[in-house]
Amino acid sequence: MIQMHAFYVFLGVAGLLTAVFLYVALSTRNARDINIQSAYSLRKRLFFIVLAVLLLGMGMTLGKTPYPKGNELPDKVVFVVGKQFSFALSDAPITNDQEYEASTFGAPVQVPAGSLIEFRVTSFDVNHSFSVYSPDDHLLAQTQAMPGYVNRLRVRFDQPGRHYVLCLELCGMGHHRMRGVFDVK
Amino acid sequence: MTAATGEPVLWNEAELAEFRRMTLVWGITVLLLLPILALLGYFMRLYQSGAFSGMRAEWFYAVLTLHSLGMVGTWFVGSMAGVSYLLLKYARPSLGVSKFAYIGTLLGVLLLIACTLGGLFGTGWYFLYPLPLFAQGVWAPWATFTFFLALTILGVCWTVWTLDMLRAIAQRYSLGAALGLNYLAGKSGPELPPLILITTVSLIVSLSGFVAAVIVIALFAARALGVNVDPLLMKNLTFFFGHDLVNITMYLGIAMVYELLPAYAGRPWKTNRVVALAWGAVLFLVLFAFFHHLYMDFAQPTWIQKFGQICSYLLAVPAGVVSIFGTLALVYASRMKWTLASTFFFLGILGWGIGGIAAVIDSTVEVNFHFHNTLWVPAHFHTYYLMGVVLIILGFIDHTGKELSGLEEKPSLSKLTTALLLIGGYGFLFMFYWGGVHSVPRRYAIYPREVMQGTFYARVAVGFITLLLVGILLYLWETGRRCLKALT
């Protein structure tokens, strides 16, 4: 799970930094003059190490963004509207409040497992966040639902089951109870 | 006192005494706001733990708004007041402007309290367009108006304060000199204190942030008058402003460490070519790193998203290689005088570093896809603040209070205070990080079934916050006493 990998990286680097700070703090028990040129030389090496790590990180991740790629077509499109305080999902475009109400209270949309699904997400009022949770409650994917814009979120679902959608962008008093639902078959 | 130009900085004793008093007033005000705003945060985590299940969720969102704006504002003015005081050695900032900013800040704070606790205005600190205009009956139009009036008053007085400090610097240093261009050109003089370099960079950035805020408020007014406004433009402007404000709060705190830590370590910290280059890089990169707040707006062009990640990553270079390494080199094997203040400076730089690591990780688009708007976000910025710039500012207030009151600290009490703040603080933060890793959303009053582990994490966090609050109270007792004695 990517969240846990990121957490291990964080713990590792933060732990290393903390250890260095502790080492430096303890070093003041044996005060002595330091060679400033050695310090500058160490800083130069640190610069190259930090830059190399960051460039490596960029190289590994910049190509893996969740944005739609022009050279692939989705297998299925699901239309999503966020509105205070529910998400409506539908196989057909949702263009007005009546269609929004019907889609909110209708049967959950079904998407085939393994297929590339494109959610076309917008909002009828304020910013929301269309955030998809797996059946075992991990945050799988998200995009903002912004009035006047359609964000296209493409996801492939491997795990069948009911997927809930929560709103992760503060949108008013009902923010924490705003949800949507769809099924992966 | 002499400036780097060799000309004397003309302060008479009465003027200096007045400035010291004003600094103490700012410091005491920060110390009064800290426990109030911290208790609001305590309320929020208690609410999330299920402690106030009978209370409407609107209260949570109103308190969230006040806590977040209050803290951002408090530490901004704390940083500004601290730097303004340290600037006296090199320039002549205006006491009158500082007083004007103080009155404006108090007025703004009162109005914020009115609209949130009085009016249940609950948009969160970044009041994302068009949410303030979609109250759903929770807050009245007067609350929305009062909120924007508060922001306008705060914005005006803080912009004037920023301009005055830049004016004071400009009267002693040319812009090029203040940005360290002499060093970049290979010259070694005239000597530029790091405080001037970092403050100049920070205030230029904050000025641009305030300009963005003015545009945001004006466009909100336009929308209220029926003009269509682009929400993506508003989001970009809002996060440009907010990102700048919180970053320069931290950079001004770093400036205080560059200025004050050397005396404790018994070693100098001077500007040189590398330091000038680093802060020049910060000036450019920090203006564009804000794009990392909009990664989940897929409507934003992809090249901008990637540029945001590159700038966010590269900001780690001047921070880590120059400021953090510089702190470590300054202190390493030195005859370091470990007091509460110097310990807080040292630990504050560590906290800034740890928060920065979490921030760089989250500024990776691929990772942000899973961390955006989860508890990882408050985890990293609370680390930057609580264990970073807050420690630095509290260290500055203690340093100044001790200097002006003559009252010494009790080492055992200082150690206990530090231990409580560290254990309570990092324990509280860990529960945020852990929540983020486990997909718990931020800004939820109540955790639904899918993320109900958030309720347990909040309960654990409450325990750590209790320790943190005891530490804060001990600090306030000791340092508050010193500041009040110095004032009277």
Question: How distant is the alpha carbon of residue B22 from its chain centre?
Answer: 20
* pLDDT value of residue B187: 84
- Other Cβ atoms less than 10 A from the Cβ of B62: the count is 25
Q: Over 60: is that where the pLDDT of B121 sits?
A: yes
A125 interface with B at CB cutoff 8 Å: yes
Task: Give the per-residue pLDDT at B8.
Answer: 63
Closest residue in chain B to residue A132, using alpha carbons only: B370
pLDDT of residue B4: 52
The mean per-residue pLDDT over the stretch A56-72 comes to: 93
Question: What pLDDT does residue B2 have?
Answer: 46
The dihedral through the CA atoms of B131, B204, B312, A69 has a sign that is positive
* pLDDT of residue A102 exceeding 80: yes
What's the ipTM? Answer: 0.96
Q: Could you read off the pLDDT of B275-322 as tens digits, one per residue?
A: 999 999 999 999 999 999 999 999 999 999 999 999 999 999 999 999
Check whether residue A97 and residue A154 sit in a common domain: yes
Angle, helix B453-487 to helix B411-437, in steps of 10 degrees: 150
Q: According to the model, what pLDDT value does residue B6 have?
A: 53
Q: Is residue B378 part of a domain?
A: yes
User: How many domains does chain B fold into?
Assistant: 1
Q: Is-cis flag, bond preceding B448, omega within 30?
A: no
Count of CA atoms in the C-beta half-sphere (13 A) of B320: 28
Do residues B297 and A144 lie in contact, with contact meaning Cβ atoms separated by under 8 Å? Answer: yes
Hey, are the CB atoms on A28 and B135 less than 8 Å from each other?
Answer: no
| Segment B452-468 mean pLDDT | 98
B379: containing domain: 13-487
Q: Does some domain include residue A66?
A: no
Same domain, A124 and A93: yes
pLDDT tens-place string over residues B380-434: 999 999 999 999 999 999 999 999 999 999 999 999 999 999 999 999 999 999 9
Query: pLDDT averaged over chain A?
Result: 96
Q: Averaged over B369-380, what is the pLDDT?
A: 98
What tens digit of pLDDT does each residue of B148-194 get?
999 999 999 999 999 999 999 999 999 999 999 999 998 877 899 99
- When pLDDT is cut at 50, 70 and 90, the band that residue B5 belongs to is low
Q: What is the DSSP string of B318-353?
A: IIIIIIIHHHHHHHTTS-----HHHHHHHHHHHHHH
**Gap between the Cα atoms of B457 and B446, Å rounded:** 12
Cβ-based contacts of B338 with chain A (< 8 Å): 28
A93, part of any domain: yes
Give yes or no: residues A50 and A105 share one domain. no
Give domain status of residue A13, yes or no. yes
CATH of the domain at A94: 2.60.40.420
Q: Is B199 helix (H, G, I), strand (E, B) or coil?
A: helix
* Rounded average pLDDT over A73-93: 97
Q: Domain check: are A83 and A158 in the same one?
A: yes
**A179 with A126, same domain?**
yes
Contact residues, chain B, for A43 at CB < 8 Å:
274, 321-322, 325, 329
* Residue B149 forms part of a structural domain: yes
Confidence (pLDDT) at B9: 62
d(CA B159, CA B155): 6
Residues spanned by the domain of A133 = 76-184
* CA gyration radius, chain B: 22
Q: Is residue A69 part of a domain?
A: no
Q: Does any domain span residue B5?
A: no
What are the E-state strand segments in B263-416? none
Return the residue of B nearest to A56 by Cα: B313
**Residue B269: pLDDT band with limits 50, 70, 90:** very high
pLDDT at A71: 85
A117 shares a domain with A57: no
Residue B420 lies in a domain: yes
- Smallest Cβ–Cβ distance between A125 and the set B134, B306, B354 belongs to B134
Inside any domain, residue A7 = yes
Closest alpha carbon to B203 in B170, B237, B239: B170
Output the average pLDDT for chain B. 95
Cα atoms found within 13 Å of the Cα of residue A127, Cβ hemisphere only: 24
Contact A47 B366 (CB under 8 A): no
| Number of structural domains found in chain A | 2
**Is residue B390 situated within a structural domain?**
yes
Q: Residue A36 falls within a domain, yes or no?
A: yes
State whether A21 and A87 are in the same domain: no
Predicted confidence (pLDDT) at residue B3 exceeds the cutoff of 70: no
Interface test with A, best of B369, B418, B429 (most A CBs within 10 A): B369
Is B50 contained in some domain? Answer: yes
> What CATH number should be reported for the domain holding residue B475?
1.20.210.10
Q: Residue A111: beta bridge partners?
A: A184
Do A56 and A80 reside in the same domain of the chain? no
The confidence score (pLDDT) of residue B1 equals 45
Contact residues, chain B, for A126 at CB < 8 Å: 128, 130-131, 134
The answer to whether B231 touches A127, Cβ cutoff 8 Å, is yes
Residue A170 counted as domain residue: yes
Strands A179-184 and A161-167 come out as: antiparallel
Chain A residues with CB inside 8 Å of B48's CB? none
- To the question of pTM greater than 0.90 for the whole model, the response is yes
- In a domain, residue B4? The reply is no
**pLDDT at position A54:** 97
Whether B241 maps to a domain, the answer reads: yes
Q: Point out the domain boundary residue: A31, A61, A91.
A: A61
